[in-house]
Amino acid sequence: MPALTSAKDSTSTAQDLDTVLAILPTLSLDELRREWKRHLHSPPPTTRSRELLRGLIAWKLQDAAFGGLSPDAKRRLARLADTLERKPGHSPPPKPTLRPGTVLTREWRGVFYQVCVTADGFEHVGTRFASLSEVARAITGTRWSGPAFFGLTAPTGRKAKP
């Protein structure tokens, strides 16, 4: 199996990683354990599942080659873990999925606004926007959370200013 090159040459690393990942499904449990030691320089976990060990190796190699989770993702996961420790039955509310063709409406200061969801963002009065917050800003002239402006998020419980 090829060795992974340093992260300095990302093209070579990606090609080597693709080769390693393609080979992993063909290996026995003992071969996977050897590859773990060879690539990760530590004893493999004691799992007896080829699928689990293969997935762990793939994840660790991809993490080493391309970097781990973003700081924002780490914060969100830490927050979720903290919430689940405090409230074991907690289930986060699903985020609304906006499909292309969906039309969002909102009345603002007596004017009725419509925004169409497109495959690559949003369209309002013939202008394309990358985010719903940009649309809300164009309508109100101030910074708004687009999902909040269009009623897609639950109220936070804060009192509105008079």
More confident residue, 12 or 41: 41
Does the pLDDT of residue 142 top 70, yes or no?
A: yes
Does the pLDDT of residue 159 top 90, yes or no?
A: no
Q: What is the per-residue pLDDT for 9?
A: 46
> Which two three-digit tokens encode residue 119?
């495959």
List pLDDT tens digits, range 46-92. 988 999 999 999 999 988 888 888 888 889 889 888 988 998 887 77
> Which two three-digit tokens encode residue 159?
């009192």
List pLDDT tens digits, range 23-45. 999 999 999 999 999 988 999 99
Q: What is the per-residue pLDDT for 36?
A: 93
Round to whole Å and give the CA distance between 91 and 83: 10
Asked whether the beta carbons of 57 and 45 are under 8 A apart, the reply is no
Q: What is the mean pLDDT of the chain?
A: 83
Give, in order, the Cα–Cα distances in Å from 29 to each of 18, 23, 58, 97: 20, 13, 14, 40
- The domain ranges of the chain are 10-66, 89-162
Task: Specify the DSSP class assigned to residue 46.
Answer: -
Enumerate residues 6+ apart whose C-beta is below 8 A from 33: 44, 53
Q: What is the dihedral of CA 67, 68, 74, 78, to 10 degrees?
A: -150
Q: What is the per-residue pLDDT for 162?
A: 44
Asked whether the beta carbons of 102 and 118 are under 8 A apart, the reply is no
Phi-psi region at 2: left, alpha or beta (left = phi > 0; alpha = psi -120 to 50):
beta
